[in-house]
Structure formats: C-alpha cells, structure tokens
Structure 1
C-alpha cells in the first residue's frame, strides 16, 4: 500500500486524501480481561509465513514502541461485542487493538507518521473510529442472520481478512456506473451454529465523523457462494422492494 495511512487516520487528518491499508478489526485483550466473565479472544495474526494465523491473516500482536515513535501510546484494549466461534464451544469475544498495536500495524504496512504529522490525540480518535466501524459491521451481519434465527440464535464470528484492493464484483459494477470504489473490504466468516457463512463487507467513505465515531458507509451482504446465500439476498431484495412500494402507497393516500 506504499505510504498510505489508515482510513481512520485519513478522517482525523482532514487535509489528507490518502487511502487506507486494511487493519485487523479485533485482537486479543491484555491481562485486565482475565477477570471478565467471558474470556476475550486472541486475534489470529502475519510476519513471516510461519507466523500467519489463518483466522485474520495478521502478524503477532506488537505492543512495543517503535524506534522513532514521537510519543508514548496506551496498550490497553477494548473487548468488542462480537462473539468468537471457539472449537470447544466456549464463549469468548474478539478484542480490539491498542493504540500502540495500531501504530505498529500502520508502520508495517508502509505508513510513515512524519508524512502526516499525526498527534497523540489523533490515535485515540483513530481507535474509536476503527472500533465503531467494526461494531457497525457486526450489527449489519446480525440483521442478515435474523433470517435464520430459528436455525441458530447465536451466530459468532469465526475468522476475517482484509482485501482492500480486491474489489468485490458489486463494487466494481458500481464504479462502472460512476460511483466511488470502497476504501476497504473485509470478508468475515460467521459460524451459524456449525455452518460457515461468508460475508462481504465493503467500506465506503461517508464524509464527516459523527458523534459516535462513525463515518463509513457499509455494504454488508452474504457472499454469493452458496444457493442459501443467493436465496437470502433475493428474499431481502424482495422485502425491501415491497416495503418501499407499500410506503409509497401510504404516502400517496396521505397526500390525496
């Protein structure tokens, strides 16, 4: 990704127009999580090929300050609301990266902090935006999973990976129509009570950051790699069309 800064950093530094590298949305929690009722989960992480974790394709967590880092950064981490599918069936939750981990991850992807003159406060905002985007993505996944509530009432995130430059067919088609390409893409594998379901998430620039630290517009949908996923997308398309049609009819009655 060259000297590209993350999407979160791009929106903190309003005078920058760099595109972001993708970053692991969730990581393991530090020792303070040990007292939680449910344990936080290790974010599977990619330095050398031998270190690659298949769950998120990221390198091991690095909480050490970089050699030329201009200021200290916190290493505390926040537990997400996103449950992780564990092989033994236990309940754990993904945990977001610390500011120090995020800083190191951006450096690893080619970013140089001197080019952006980033400040200590910016890193706090970046982490908040990063976490909010992933919470929003999970809520969108749950809306789709509600179609299978009788089949599975507790879907969990099994693994994920960033594919920032591997644009989805829908994103490419939209770009041909004149729309902007997403600044990032993630593929999430959801465990639907023993069944793996892949979701594609395209992240689009939504402009200003709101008071909930959200700025991205998310396009979340099941991948078209199974008949069941295709059927779900057809069902939702029909329901949206029917809802809009009924809404238009009601508006017409009120105005007549």
Structure 2
C-alpha cells in the first residue's frame, strides 16, 4: 500500500482502474507469510530499508528505482506512471503525488525479495488496485477534513507518509483484545499493513498549515459475493495527537450513537 512518489516524470492522468470494482488485490498474502510469525503477511509492496539505498524522507521510499526490464523478465511492463488526485507539499506548484509504474513496482519487489511467486502478468493489476486503495484512503481523509475545509475554503494536502507494517496501532490492539473475548463480534485478525499519513490542514488562506497525522489500518475483508475476489477495508482516522483530533474522533463515534438513541431510522 501507499506507493506515492515525490519526483516528477512523464505520467498519465489518474483514472478509475479496471480492477477497482473488486477492491481486491491479486497477491495471495498467505503464500508470503513468514514461518517465524503467526501474523498475516504485510503488503509485499514495501520500501526496501537496505543501508545502501538513499530513502526519500517524504515517503520513506528509495529515491530511485529502475524502470529498466529486470533480468530474466519475460513480459514487457509499462513504464508509465499515473498521477494521483492527492495534492503534494505546501503549495500547488508542487503538484500531485505520483504512483510507480508496473515496471518500477516489479523492480522494487525484486529488490526487496518479495517478487518470487508473483506472476509478472499480475503486476499491472497490483498497481491499479494499490492506486485505487490509496485514492480511497485520501477520500476518507477528505471526509474527516471536510469541516475544516469548509471553514478555510482551502483543500488539505499530503506532506509525507510512512509505512509501519510491523507496528500495530492502539485501536488495532484493542480490537484484537476484544476479538479474543468476543470473537463473533470483533475482528480476530490483525491488519496486514499500517500507514501514517501527515496531512497539511490550512489555518486559513495564506496563514500556513497545521500538520495532522492520520493512521490507516488495512484489513482483509470478506470476498466480494458477486465476483469472488478478495476485498479490503480501510480504517482511516486522525491520530490522537492533540485535542482537536481527540474531539473529532469522539464526535465521529458519538454522533451516530446519539442519533440512533434518538430514534433516527437512517442510522439503523
């Protein structure tokens, strides 16, 4: 998840991918599970932390991943990269975040040692689905930010993000604990990935930005009933770093509960 890039190359504009309807990922995560861990495998598309690579501080990704064909590669993959809808940096002249091309995706997985067993003809679909999930995460963030955007008339922007696949969020820990007590009600499987996105919230036009951290947990969801394809669920919310974020989380939870208690039929 979360392959967004900060450098500029020739790209094509974002569009809804053909794989978006299933919300599924063509990667079988169970086949990538480590024998030394009982936790589900993390998303295989993760940045390499090798000491000989220079990482971009904006996304914790290698600064340069080759677009050249990999040794022994049988299928030609596109080197075109798609522009996301997610604004990057503090000003409009910094443009939009970009997704890696299918060729870069394959090269990155091979460099990380995660490419074994993944069919080359599945890489393009992987890119489309992962792009779609990132767009979905951003839409959820926009919903959280909506009241602030209405006040300032300035859209939020994504400054940076980082993948934390091995760090369970506090909420995920609580859900797992509750799942142990009430397995029929709460999820008993941890998220397979986590991201922290650092969003710039406007303080008012030409008055600067407030950095707000969002936590995104990626869960596997039941297979789509119509297509049989695997699906995902994103749990996106502001981290409890300040009073405003705590208030937003409380209001988000308490509001629907209160309306249900008051007999609002739409809440049932």
Supply the RMSD in Å over aligned alpha carbons: 2.9
Contact 1:85 1:158 in 2 (8 A): yes
Contact 2:220 2:230 in 1 (8 A): no
1:13 Cα deviation from its structure 2 partner: 5.0
Question: Secondary structure of 1:12's partner?
Answer: coil
Number of matched pairs:
218
Question: Secondary structure of 2:254's partner?
Answer: helix
Question: Secondary structure of 2:113's partner?
Answer: coil
Aligned to 1:138: 138
Aligned to 1:181: 190
1:48 Cα deviation from its structure 2 partner: 4.0
Question: Secondary structure of 1:125's partner?
Answer: helix
The 1-side partners of 2:265 and 2:26 are apart by 42
2:85 matches 1:81: yes
Give structure 1 stretches of 5+ with no counterpart.
1-9, 26-44, 252-256
Aligned to 2:5: none
Aligned to 1:204: 219
Question: Secondary structure of 2:152's partner?
Answer: coil
The 2-side partners of 1:61 and 1:119 are apart by 17
Question: Secondary structure of 1:196's partner?
Answer: strand
Task: Provide, for residues 126-182 of structure 1, a one-character-per-residue CA deviation record: whole Å limited to 9, x for no partner.
Answer: 111101100000000001001212035310011011001111011111112222100
Give structure 2 stretches of 5+ with no counterpart.
1-23, 33-40, 180-187, 203-208
Aligned to 1:191: 200
The 1-side partners of 2:82 and 2:178 are apart by 39
Aligned residue among 42, 51, 56 for 2:54: 51
Aligned to 1:223: 239
The 2-side partners of 1:204 and 1:98 are apart by 25
Question: Secondary structure of 2:72's partner?
Answer: coil
Contact 1:129 1:214 in 2 (8 A): no
| TM-aligned CA distance change 1:153 to 1:215, over 3 Å | farther
1:91 Cα deviation from its structure 2 partner: 5.0
1:96 Cα deviation from its structure 2 partner: 0.8
Task: Provide, for residues 97-137 of structure 1, a one-character-per-residue CA deviation record: whole Å limited to 9, x for no partner.
Answer: 11111112212222142x34x141x1121111101100000
Contact 2:25 2:129 in 1 (8 A): no
TM-score by length of 1: 0.75
TM-score by length of 2: 0.72
| TM-aligned CA distance change 1:51 to 1:229, over 3 Å | same
The correspondence of residues 1-256 of structure 1 with structure 2, limited to 5 A, is 11-13=25-27, 16-18=30-32, 19-21=41-43, 23=45, 48=51, 51-59=54-62, 60-86=64-90, 89-113=92-116, 115-116=117-118, 118-120=119-121, 122-149=122-149, 150-151=151-152, 153-178=154-179, 179-193=188-202, 194-208=209-223, 215-246=231-262, 248-250=263-265
